[in-house]
């Protein structure tokens, strides 16, 4: 628990009286942004001491200030959304050539006959770019000139939980920081009275898999960078109000006393998590005022509510997308939305017809609304799941669906320095393997960081003797073709 170096550094900084963002120390601190983060403990009275971010100054001028990641959890079919495969339609009912699938990772179709399943919906050319988009996504199709569609995504994990972990942390091993934690650690937050990294979930359709809270964990980064989950139904944050009989001044006094007690303890123990707790209490106090304002949608016009399909008080994808806009408007750095459930092993027709309309409407509304408020330029929107679905049908007992698929799937990006109206990469004629301009999850992370002004290769934190990165140790590169 006791790290003599931490004491030494803290003592040094305390005595030298230099501010942590000071240029004189930037060389020293560049290597040790972590201690910069943990040394900034709020003082009693709630004096503002905004953490400037570990990457300070940024590696290059940023295009995006914040990220909204709309995770279509469960693994949406690329073949019914963004990846038009007329050849697959012709092969419908025929056996999948073994040359394609031999030795490949297969989830539930293991040991079964692999039969091609053509697209279950029609596609239409949309926008000035004429990019074919599924008729399941009419509203997003209408915005195709704002979207960069990546059709060549690949991941390494074929089951939901590890695949989410891989998408979020760049590794299937749990216990490492989620991208939202990395980004907030690197850039800090511009919201003084809300967490820098907020998570919201919504679900519908078939019985969705749970999304574990460790998907937004801060791993080896200080706990203050962990995602904070807001509820959409009821109060966004439970127990945010003072108990009856406790005034705001009384609560302030209590928080100050706790902070003073913690500072006393911190001087003995030098445990950074004590500092995190003090910061969280301070933030929670400010959230007592900010959260009711955040959750109050009465200031939104009927037109806006209708655009999103938002229902105040209901945890729908529409309400959450509207909340995401309200969060980035208030300076929140990273909003991670999970909308379940896209895991259509069976009856893909029925479930897509249920889940696509509200998702399409909400996602398109988010882009439209950000744009008309002048926020789209500085907000990176990412839409996609943890993997895609097989070109082979999955029958079994009920109506047909598709299995998990990791060798080629699609994602859509918009705003924040993304070039609209383009398609990047391609899968083969089956929609099975990504064959050109393959974009690995690590490349997506490098791209996101680049747009935020961070060079992924330089963005490291020393952990267990290694310079750990979101993008890990294997090759990763920002996808420059996606940049505006």
Which residues bind to another protein, rule: CB under 8 A? 1, 243-247, 250, 253-254, 257-258, 260-262, 264-265, 271, 273-274, 277, 281
Of residues 159 and 242, the one with the C-beta less far from another protein: 242
- Residue ranges of alpha helices (H) inside 131-178 are 138-142, 160-169
Of residues 102 and 249, the one with the C-beta less far from another protein: 249
Structural contact between residues 469 and 219, judged by C-beta atoms closer than 8 angstroms: no
Of residues 244 and 299, the one with the C-beta less far from another protein: 244
Structural contact between residues 193 and 207, judged by C-beta atoms closer than 8 angstroms: no
Taking the complex as a whole, the smallest distance from the CB of residue 245 to another protein amounts, in Å, to: 3
Taking the complex as a whole, the smallest distance from the CB of residue 49 to another protein amounts, in Å, to: 19
Of residues 59 and 286, the one with the C-beta less far from another protein: 286
Of residues 267 and 484, the one with the C-beta less far from another protein: 267
Taking the complex as a whole, the smallest distance from the CB of residue 101 to another protein amounts, in Å, to: 49
Of residues 243 and 374, the one with the C-beta less far from another protein: 243
For 378, which DSSP code?
Answer: G
Taking the complex as a whole, the smallest distance from the CB of residue 483 to another protein amounts, in Å, to: 44
- What distance in Å separates the CA atoms of residue 56 and residue 479, rounded to the nearest whole number? 23
- What distance in Å separates the CA atoms of residue 372 and residue 363, rounded to the nearest whole number? 14
What is residue 144's three-state secondary structure?
Answer: helix
Taking the complex as a whole, the smallest distance from the CB of residue 244 to another protein amounts, in Å, to: 4
Q: Within 13 Å and on the Cβ side, how many CA atoms surround 199?
A: 22
Give Cα 364 distance to the centre of its chain. 17
Taking the complex as a whole, the smallest distance from the CB of residue 346 to another protein amounts, in Å, to: 44
Structural contact between residues 109 and 403, judged by C-beta atoms closer than 8 angstroms: yes
Q: Which two tokens stand for residue 316?
A: 């729908």
- What distance in Å separates the CA atoms of residue 367 and residue 389, rounded to the nearest whole number? 25
Taking the complex as a whole, the smallest distance from the CB of residue 273 to another protein amounts, in Å, to: 7
Q: Which two tokens stand for residue 251?
A: 């609560």
Exposed, middle or buried, 349 (CB in 10 Å: 0-12/13-18/19+)?
middle
Give Cα 264 distance to the centre of its chain. 37
Of residues 170 and 219, the one with the C-beta less far from another protein: 219
Of residues 103 and 239, the one with the C-beta less far from another protein: 239
Measure the CA angle with vertex 59, ends 57 and 63; round to 5°. Answer: 100
Taking the complex as a whole, the smallest distance from the CB of residue 67 to another protein amounts, in Å, to: 30
Of residues 263 and 419, the one with the C-beta less far from another protein: 263
For 10, 223, 323, 366, 484, the CA distances from 55, given in Å and listed in that order, are 20, 18, 28, 29, 23
Taking the complex as a whole, the smallest distance from the CB of residue 260 to another protein amounts, in Å, to: 5
- What distance in Å separates the CA atoms of residue 165 and residue 211, rounded to the nearest whole number? 10
Q: Which two tokens stand for residue 69?
A: 């990641």
Q: Which two tokens stand for residue 354?
A: 């249920």
């Amino acid at each position: 628990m006791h790290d003599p170096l931490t004491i030494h550094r803290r003592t040094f900084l305390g005595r030298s009286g230099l501010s942590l963002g000071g240029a004189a120390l930037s060389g020293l601190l560049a290597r040790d942004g972590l201690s910069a983060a943990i040394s900034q403990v709020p003082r009693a009275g709630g004096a503002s001491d905004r953490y400037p971010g570990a990457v300070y100054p940024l590696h290059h001028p940023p295009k995006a200030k914040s990220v909204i990641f709309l995770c279509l959890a469960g693994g949406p079919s690329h073949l019914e959304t963004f990846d038009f495969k007329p050849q697959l339609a012709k092969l419908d009912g025929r056996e999948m050539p073994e040359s394609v699938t031999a030795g490949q990772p297969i989830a539930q179709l293991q040991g079964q006959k692999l039969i091609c399943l053509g697209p279950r919906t029609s596609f239409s050319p949309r926008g000035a770019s004429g990019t074919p988009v599924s008729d399941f996504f009419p509203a997003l199709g209408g915005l195709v000139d704002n979207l960069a569609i990546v059709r060549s995504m690949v991941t390494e994990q074929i089951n939901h939980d590890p695949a989410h972990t891989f998408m979020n942390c760049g590794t299937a091993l749990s216990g490492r920081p989620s991208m939202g934690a990395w980004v907030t650690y690197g850039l800090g937050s511009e919201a003084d009275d809300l967490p820098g990294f907020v998570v919201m979930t919504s679900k519908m359709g078939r019985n969705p898999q749970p999304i574990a809270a460790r998907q937004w964990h801060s791993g080896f980064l200080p706990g203050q960078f962990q995602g904070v989950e807001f509820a959409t139904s009821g109060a966004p944050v439970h127990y945010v109000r003072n108990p009856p009989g406790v005034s705001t001044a009384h609560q302030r006094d209590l928080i100050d006393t706790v902070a003073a007690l913690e500072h006393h303890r911190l001087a003995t123990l030098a445990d950074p998590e004590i500092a995190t707790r003090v910061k969280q209490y301070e933030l929670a106090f400010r959230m007592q005022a900010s959260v009711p304002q955040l959750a109050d949608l009465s200031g939104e016009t009927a037109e806006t509510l209708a655009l999103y399909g938002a229902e105040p008080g209901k945890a729908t994808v529409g309400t959450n997308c509207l909340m995401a806009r309200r969060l980035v408007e208030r300076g929140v750095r990273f909003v991670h939305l999970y909308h379940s459930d896209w895991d259509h092993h069976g009856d893909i027709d029925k479930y897509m017809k249920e889940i696509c309309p509200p998702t399409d409407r909400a996602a398109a509304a988010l882009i439209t609304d950000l744009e008309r408020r002048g926020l789209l330029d500085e907000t990176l929107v990412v839409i996609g799941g943890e993997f895609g679905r097989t070109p082979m049908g999955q029958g079994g007992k009920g109506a047909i669906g598709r299995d998990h698929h990791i060798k080629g799937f699609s994602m859509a990006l918009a705003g924040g320095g993304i070039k609209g109206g383009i398609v990047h990469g391609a899968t083969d004629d089956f929609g099975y393997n990504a064959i050109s301009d393959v974009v690995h999850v690590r490349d997506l992370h490098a791209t996101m960081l680049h747009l935020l002004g961070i060079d992924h290769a330089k963005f490291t934190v020393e952990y267990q003797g290694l310079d750990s990165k979101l993008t890990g140790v294997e090759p990763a590169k920002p996808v420059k073709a996606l940049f505006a």
